[in-house]
Amino acid sequence: MSEFAIETRGLVKRFGQVCALDNVNIAVRKGEFVAIMGASGSGKTTLMNILTCLDTHTEGQVFLDGQEASLLDEDGRRNFRAEKIGLLFQQFHLIPYLTALQNVMLAQHYHSVTEEDAAKKVLEDVGLGHRMDHLPSQLSGGEQQRVCIARALVNDCPILFADEPTGNLDEANEKIVLDIFQKLHANKHTIIMVTHNPDLGRYTDRVIRLQHGKVIEEVQN
């Protein structure tokens, strides 16, 4: 067991001639709430995709809960994703013809368990106990993102990755989402949040700033 949820050493990612990540060395302790910030094109999404096994890196080492990612086979990567991480995106990616509850239960299904009570509980935890039978089209953007949080949390994953989770939300809903993150943080979840909004950094323990694929600054809050 590692003290770090995530660690990279000399991480490089190239897309052809483009060096999207250039010698990135970061470590996120278990239970830490970290913001990854930087202008558009600085490499934030590329980094998230590698840390969540959605993409592979070109050089260097990536450790996921102490295990080197490049040594994991397809099953190992799938298990890491299924057991350890929840994902949140700017776009909600909810299934339009399923209710809020069914969308959350679909995530359980991929985990080979369906417990309606557990799905209801996470929806209640994000303040949507009264919206469980609504379709995504019947929910506001903020409510849809809260369904996504419930979906990410239903399988008890300890690490939450969020790529611009409030990018499509107004300020009031942004605050609701950040409040939920702080509650999760208090309950020992590790949260890695990508954002280009400087105001969101103050909610976190630490801000890691990327520029042109390099870490240019780390600020402890």
Interacting residues toward Mg ion by CB under 5 A: 44-45
Cβ proximity of 50 and 98 under 8 Å: no
Residues 26-65: x where in contact with ligand ADP by CB under 6 A, - otherwise, as a string:
------------x-xxxxxxx-------------------
State how far the alpha carbon of 134 is from the alpha carbons of 2, 128, 152, 203, in Å: 41, 10, 18, 31
- Pick the binder of ligand ADP from 3, 18, 156, 219 (CB under 6 A): 18
209 binds, among ligand ADP, Mg ion, none (CB under 5 to 8 A by kind): none
Whole-angstrom CA distances from 92 to 55, 64, 95, 96, 147 are 20, 25, 9, 10, 9
- By CB under 6 A, tell whether 127 contacts ligand ADP: no
Return d(Cα 113, Cα 11) in angstroms, integer. 36
Whole-angstrom distance, CA of residue 68 vs CA of residue 43: 21
Q: In whole angstroms, how close is the CB of 188 to ligand ADP at the nearest point? A: 28
How far is 85 from 158, CA to CA, in rounded Å?
A: 6
Question: Is the Cβ of residue 20 or residue 69 nearer to ligand ADP in the bound state?
Answer: 20
Binding-site partner at residue 195 among ligand ADP, Mg ion, none, CB < 5 to 8 Å by type: none
Q: Which is nearer to Mg ion, 31 or 167 (CB)?
A: 167
Q: Which residues bind ligand ADP (CB under 6 A)?
A: 15, 18, 20, 38, 40-46
